[in-house]
Each structure stands twice: as C-alpha cells, then as structure tokens.
Amino acid sequence: MAQDTILLAHGSGGTLMRRLIDEVFVTGFGDAGSPALDDAATLEIPDGRIAMSTDTYTVSPLFFPGGDIGRLAVCGTVNDVATSGARPLYLSVGFVLEEGLPIADLKRILVSMHESANEAGVRIVTGDTKVVERGHGDGVYVNTAGIGTLAPGVSLSGSHCKPGDVVLLSGTLGDHGIAVVSIREGLEFSTDLRSDAAPLNHLTAAVLQAAPDVRCFRDPTRGGLASTLNELAGASGVSITVEETAVPVRSQVLGACEMLGYDFYQVANEGKMVAVVPADQADAALEAMRSAPYGEDAAAIGSVAESPAGSVYVRTSFGATRIMDMLVGEQLPRIC
C-alpha cells in the first residue's frame, strides 16, 4: 500500500482498514490462518469439552534474539491451552497498533505468527485491529485467545499435586528473560543467548500419552519457575523441594543473573514446561519429554511432599535448604 506506516485511519472501520486487512493481514497470515472476514469464525469441534485461554503480549522490544512479539503471542497461548492437557486448535488475535508503526514491522510480526501457528498446528481464525495515537501505545500489543479440545477423562489442575509426585522441567531456565533484557539493556554477554519461545503442545501431548496420570502442566513464564511452583504448592496444599544441581540452566544465564542481581528461578521462560507426575510414571514422562521437540534438556528437578503446605524449597549443591520465594515487586517489566 501507499502508506508505509500505520495511520489512525487504519483503525477506523473504513476503506484504509479494509485495505490493511486485504493487503497486509491476509497476505501476512497466509494459508494457515486467514482471519475470516465475517465478524466471527465458525469452527468444527470434534469433542464436547474444550479449553480456553488468553494472554496479551506487550514485550519490549518487539524483536529480540530467538523471537518476536508474534512468535511469543502464538506460542504463549498455545502453551497455556496445552497446560490443560488439551490439543490447541484455534487462535484469535487482537492487535493494538500505535500510529506511526512501520507496516514492514507489522508484516514481519504476521509472518512470524503464521510460521509459529504452522509449527504448532493451530489456525488463526479471527482477528481485530485497533489503532491508538502516537504516544498511547508502544508499537504493537497483541492479544491471542486460544481454544483446544480435551480428550475424554483428561482433567489436569494445579491443585492435583500429591506427596510423592515428581517435578519435571523440559529444559534450561531463564533464556527468554535474559535474552530480552540483554538486548534491551545493550549488554554484551548476550551475543549467543536466544529466547526459548516455542510451542510446547507436541511435548505436552507426548507426556500425557506416556504418563496418563500427569497431575498438571505449567509453563513458567512471568515470575519464572518460582512463581509456578509456589502457585502449585499453594493450590495443592503441598510442599515442593527442588534439587538445584538437577536444574538445567545455561552458564550465560547464570552469569547474567549474577551481574544483574536476578534470581534465575524468577526469570521468565517462554518455551519451557513444568510437569508434575506420579512417581511411578516419572521415568516414562521424562523419556517422552526428552524425545519431544524442545525437550532434549528435560530433567527431573524435584519432588512433592506433604508439608509444610504451600512452601517451596531449593536444596543447594552444598546440601543446604532455602526457601524459593515468589517474586516480590517488579524484576523485568514488559518481558512478554
């Protein structure tokens, strides 16, 4: 189109908006996800029970090593739907564009969403775009909502963890948070560290097949593993202890956390899954995780005990035990 930046009129419901939809969105999304031009998409659901989730993505900057806001928006919601044990099928997408956004940036984000949706095997079926005045946004905010189907009998919840269960983690901690903050702050250590943003629905499906009694999945995003485990311990009324020596984490992440004063247990991940499984299915679940995409570094990192209810501990390499606290206050704003 003639304009190469977003104008307020692109959000007006008029002809410029129609051209944006026709020329940018439909082209950018390609076959896998042309949002229907009717106001709602009509979808086939092969099963009577579904899971639904939503997230809005405000990450800054929009593009970072290993991903961008588009990949994040597809993978994040796919992963949230997958945590329920569902098979993600459909996404909606809602954009808030800031006046002045280069249309080339929007196209790049749409292509990334398209590719990530293809990889996850989901379709983007409906969408909406609003434009706000310069200075009232930050380039692009993206909301995605996702739905998926639940097989009969699948009922996972963060409140289902039981004493004796094993805690699995699908790979290294902190890659996303440190990759984003490093480019944001212009830090040098970041050169070879990339965000882990990835769709994990194939991984959760493999684990669920190998360990049908899996208690729950959680993706440790904002607030990191610490928030995830504290939420699970609270919801289930159990105690969780993590063996620090078993936790996969890259040396660059450790170094960056030391430099910046972060606790890597509290740093956001966008391509990692926690699974809590009964002990007798832990080996099968871990093997399935390691064989699945993005699960090669998976490890059994901890275990569930009865008390003290709601508490999470880390046992260090020296054998000492400390509390794994939830994040208090703000560590990394706009990380996802």
Please say which residue, 28 or 224, places its beta carbon nearer to a second copy.
Answer: 224
Nearest CA among 268, 250, 274 for reference residue 331: 268
Q: What's the min distance (Å) between Cβ of 159 and a second copy?
A: 8
Beta strand spans in 99-137 (E) = 123-132
Q: What's the min distance (Å) between Cβ of 144 and a second copy?
A: 8
Element (H, E) at 94: strand 87-98
Please say which residue, 132 or 284, places its beta carbon nearer to a second copy.
Answer: 132
Please say which residue, 102 or 291, places its beta carbon nearer to a second copy.
Answer: 102
User: What is the DSSP-derived secondary structure letter of residue 144?
Assistant: E
Please say which residue, 8 or 183, places its beta carbon nearer to a second copy.
Answer: 8
Q: What's the min distance (Å) between Cβ of 92 and a second copy?
A: 4
Pairing mode, if any, of strands 239-243 and 299-305? antiparallel
Q: What's the min distance (Å) between Cβ of 114 and a second copy?
A: 17
CA–CA separation, 171 and 248 (whole Å): 6
Q: What's the min distance (Å) between Cβ of 94 and a second copy?
A: 4
User: What is the DSSP-derived secondary structure letter of residue 325?
Assistant: P
CA distances from 209 to 154, 204, 287, 320 (A): 11, 9, 11, 36
CA–CA separation, 128 and 270 (whole Å): 24
Nearest CA among 135, 106, 130, 81 for reference residue 29: 106
CA–CA separation, 250 and 289 (whole Å): 19
Q: What's the min distance (Å) between Cβ of 332 and a second copy?
A: 8
CA–CA separation, 332 and 23 (whole Å): 36
Please say which residue, 320 or 322, places its beta carbon nearer to a second copy.
Answer: 322
Please say which residue, 70 or 127, places its beta carbon nearer to a second copy.
Answer: 127
Q: What's the min distance (Å) between Cβ of 317 and a second copy?
A: 26
Please say which residue, 48 or 188, places its beta carbon nearer to a second copy.
Answer: 48
153 Cβ contact partners less than 8 Å away, ≥ 6 residues apart: none
CA–CA separation, 11 and 16 (whole Å): 8
Q: What's the min distance (Å) between Cβ of 39 and a second copy?
A: 4
HSE of 241 in the Cβ direction (CA atoms, 13 Å)? 13
Q: Could you tell me which residues are beta bridge partners of residue 130?
A: 96
Please say which residue, 40 or 320, places its beta carbon nearer to a second copy.
Answer: 40
CB 322 within 8 A of CB 314: yes
